[in-house]
Structure 1
Amino acid sequence: MRRVEHIMGLPISVAGDAVLPGEAADPVFAWLREVDARFSPFRPDSEVSRLDRGELTEDELSADLTEVLRLCEDYRVASGGAFRVRLPGRGLDPCAMVKGWAVQRAAELLAVRGVRRFCLNAGGDVVTAGGPWRIGVRHPTRPDRLCTVLEIADGAVATSARYERGDHILDGRTGRPAVGLLSMTVVARSLTEADATATAAFAMGADGIAWAAARDGCEVFAIDAEHRVFRTPGLPLAG
């Protein structure tokens, strides 16, 4: 089974047990399209945009958006303000949390429908089950090369870097682009955790390497602005 759709501005693919019908992926993509419609800050009728304009109170928010905003606040506090979804002069933008959270939920939809082995890939951020799956991490300055290959059975991998969208990750403490790292890859139990940790660590700059490595259940592969490579001892490198 393999299927690809373009949602949330990303190619999202699912590969899994060939014996299962293609309909197993239908709820996954329906959920991701729903998330895009409800939480995109670029859609004027989304729940996020309506909240940002003051048309909704906290008591009127959906349980899902309440959860996302709570997670955003948790990471803001944990990162000392480097991870921030509302910067001065900018609107509310929880995209840095929404993607990983939504794709993790999508992976859970596959699991409850009996898909035991799958790889769900959202623009290079991956959730796997029933592996091993080999996950390549793109080299930050050489697009035709990989800088490492990981082997993941059940878990998630997320990378934050500048090579796809330029200086799009801002340090919430300064409002300026984060430039201390070239790439930050985090392996964790869930993509919610892996993606948010990678983004927050990248926003923190060089200090983010030790911060991410110290988080429970996280393994790290990072390249700083001086092209130095850092990795934690438990990083699941492919043989």
Structure 2
Amino acid sequence: MRRVEHVMGFPVSLRIDDTVVPEGTGDAVFAWLREVDERFSPFEDGSEVSRHGRGELTADELSADLVEVLGICERYRVATGGAFDVRLPGRSLDPCAVVKGWSVQRAADLLDRAGIRRFCLNAGGDVVVSGGPWRIGVRHPEAADRLCAVLDLTEGAVATSARYERGDHILDGRTGRPVTGLDSLTVVAPTLTEADTVATAAFALGAEGVEWAAAQHGCEVFAVLPGGRVLRTDGFPTTGPAAA
């Protein structure tokens, strides 16, 4: 199966290499992601996230899913000393940094429960795979047509936070200012919930975030600093070029 749809503001591609795919599997994956977009988008006035952010829903009225997401947000806020924060002063509640990886990992779990053993689910460059090996390229932060690393991944997830697509959009919650101490930071972890959240939280910490991310359980890190300096952990599964 090969399928691509535009969901949550970016392309999501699903590739399944199993010889037998239960009917409706792809439909279920993309229906779930569309549901998440409707419920948790901070850009939709009627979403659960927006209503909670405006104080229209109390903590007792939230869905179990949103309680879980906000719990993850709070855990990483504490772990980074406030650098990662989805409740910045003067801004609306925005848990997108957690929702993306969490929801796509949920979709991968759906595939696993359906008995799918070999798949690659790519959500705007953040990827969760099973039944590899899969080769995954990490975009060069200064050139869209080049790779700075190629990963060989059998199971797990990889996510990158960077400045090249959306500019200086990640803010340090401690100062409210854009983070410029990193060009890109890629994390490999057992789940995309972890990989995506750790990558964003570490990026919010700036250059010190590389060491912080490397200390997170099960995480391997590849970072490109301004000027082209590369830092990576020994266990980062690079099989191709690994220089900026």
Q: Same fold (TM over 0.5)?
A: yes
TM-score, normalised to structure 1's length?
Answer: 0.98
Q: Is the 8 A contact 2:161 2:203 kept in 1?
A: yes
Q: Counterpart amino acid of 1:72?
A: C
Partner residue, 1:197: 198
Corresponding letter in the other structure for 2:88: L
Distance 1:238 1:229 in 2: 15
SS in 2 for 1:145: strand
Cα distance between partner residues in 2 of 1:231 and 1:96: 22
For structure 2, the 5+ residue unaligned runs are none
With 63-72 and 229-238 compared, the bigger mean Cα shift is at: 229-238
Q: Tell me the number of residue pairs that the alignment of Structure 1 and Structure 2 aligns.
A: 239
Q: Note if 1:138 corresponds to 2:143.
A: no
1:207 aligns with 2:220: no
CA–CA distance in 1 between the matches of 2:103 and 2:39?
11
Listed as ranges, the gaps of 5+ residues in structure 1 are none
- Residue 156 (structure 1) aligns with: 157
The Cα shift of 1:224 comes to 0.9
Secondary structure (helix, strand or coil) at the match of 2:212 reads helix
> Aligned residue for 2:20?
20
Displacement of 1:19: 2.3
Q: Deviations over 1:102-131 (max 9, x none)?
A: 000000001111110000000000000000
Matches within 5 A, 1:1-239: 1-17=1-17, 19-21=19-21, 23-238=24-239
**Contact 2:18/2:118 (<8 A) preserved:** no
Residue 23 of structure 1: CA displacement?
2.6
Give the secondary structure class of the aligned counterpart of 1:206.
helix
Instruction: Write the distance in 2 (CA, Å) between the matches of 1:108 and 1:92.
Output: 27
By how many angstroms is 1:18 displaced? 5.0
Q: Distance in 2 between matches of 1:106 and 1:98?
A: 12
Partner of 1:160, secondary structure, is strand
1:59-111 Cα offsets, whole Å, 9 max, x none, are 00000000000000000001111110011100100001100000000000011
Q: Is the 8 A contact 2:168 2:179 kept in 1?
A: yes
Give identity over the alignment, percent.
71
Counterpart residue identity of residue 237, structure 2: P
Name the CA distance, whole Å, in 2 between partners of 1:177 and 1:227: 20
Matched to 1:6, the amino acid is: H
| One-letter code aligned to 1:5 | E
Q: For residues 90 and 55 of structure 1, what CA distance do their matches in structure 2 show?
A: 16
Distance 1:192 1:18 in 2: 24
One-letter amino acid of the structure 1 residue matched with residue 4 of structure 2: V
2:14, 2:122 within 8 Å by CA — same for their partners in 1? yes
RMSD: 1.0
What is the rounded CA distance, in whole Å, between the counterparts of 1:4 and 1:40 in structure 2?
A: 20
Q: 2: distance between equivalents of 1:80 and 1:222?
A: 21
Q: Is the 8 A contact 2:18 2:116 kept in 1?
A: no
Deviations 1:13-60 (A, max 9, x none): 110125234632111100000000000000011000110111111000
Deviation at 1:229, TM superposition (A): 0.2
**TM-score normalised over the length of structure 2:** 0.96
